[in-house]
Structure 1
């Protein structure tokens, strides 16, 4: 078992670099930000940056991987234990749904930088992959019988995961207008029941008549 701890100076430097990148991405496009810009904002030497990362894409990839690993550990790993006892028709959000938004809320600046201010493809694709597994597991638990789904399972998963991602983007862009529990509950109800309390019965009428 490897118990070697990271040097606190390394941790602090990487924290400074991460903070610098987030601040710069709030101010301008990602593509216009150089390694020198990041180093200057972090008040470290350019050479110090290269002691930790090969280049800017490697830096962002490392940030993304760490963030997505944390998210996966919080919402997917515990899902098996919670799924067996949870009533998916209760109308209440599954604990993993709440943890999803709690995770984002605690790392709001980083998510906004990578997903909203500048939609970094590597991060957005990785996030969608995590959401895909999360949604697929949820649908499998909620309804394991394909005959009770309104669409093919792979279509249903793709539909729900895409909606998840865009709701997350909307929630971040609008500065979290609903609490973590509220947005989690709304998203879960939409995922299971769709946008209607009841299937709407729209009356058909003939073409308007003139008198």
Structure 2
């Protein structure tokens, strides 16, 4: 009886992006980012981007369906190159000081403040805002679930708590970018880190939900 088994299939090498495709996408990223630093996003047409990138419109549509997707990808790539990928914040720790990665992300926003003001503003990019919201929601939700979040008497679902915190975080970042003079990135990072307390400490608000003060007894007793 032949007990031999077939060897497992060889691992397939990761697909590599064609250098020509990568070069064209870099040109498109750079073109849109430079234009977005100069004027509002709603005044930028695909033809403007193609012209700045020295390609034709048909080539643009071979790579991106619209300028919204291009902008979101370009900003993601800029953050990655700056070492400011928010997903790397997980797992959140309980330190009082914001992590270096969070400070780097705020530095990235600060260095591109005009661009992010336009992207996150009222006439900005819904897709860029949605991606940022999705990443922050993942971070907050994972933190809440990992640190024993309790729904309390209000039976507050984790998803609702995460949505509330995420909305506040985006509001803080947007307001900070609009401030003149703008406070330092370290100070802004400390604001963000403080707002993430529920997601990085073990249910810090449970005392408030149960009417128990920090002293360990019900308030007023």
TM over 0.5: yes
Distance (Å, rounded) in 2 between the aligned partners of 1:134 and 1:121:
20
Residue pairs, 1:146-185, within 5 angstroms: 146=150, 151-174=156-179, 177-185=182-190
- Residue 27 (structure 2) aligns with: 13
Give the aligned length: 182
Give how far 1:70 is off: 6.3
Q: Is the 8 A contact 1:93 1:188 kept in 2?
A: yes
TM-score w.r.t. length of structure 2 = 0.63
Distance change (3 Å), C-alpha of 1:171 and 1:59: same
- Residue 50 (structure 1) aligns with: 58
TM-score w.r.t. length of structure 1 = 0.66
Give how far 1:10 is off: 2.7
Q: Is the 8 A contact 2:79 2:85 kept in 1?
A: yes
Give how far 1:138 is off: 2.7
Higher share of residues assigned helix:
1
Q: Unpaired runs of 5+ in structure 2?
A: 1-13, 199-203, 205-212, 215-221
Higher RCO structure, 1 or 2 (CA under 8 Å, sep 6+) = 1
Distance (Å, rounded) in 1 between the aligned partners of 2:123 and 2:65:
14
RMSD: 3.7
Distance change (3 Å), C-alpha of 1:120 and 1:17: closer
Q: Unpaired runs of 5+ in structure 1?
A: 200-211
- Residue 103 (structure 1) aligns with: 108
Counterpart check, 1:186 vs 2:191: yes
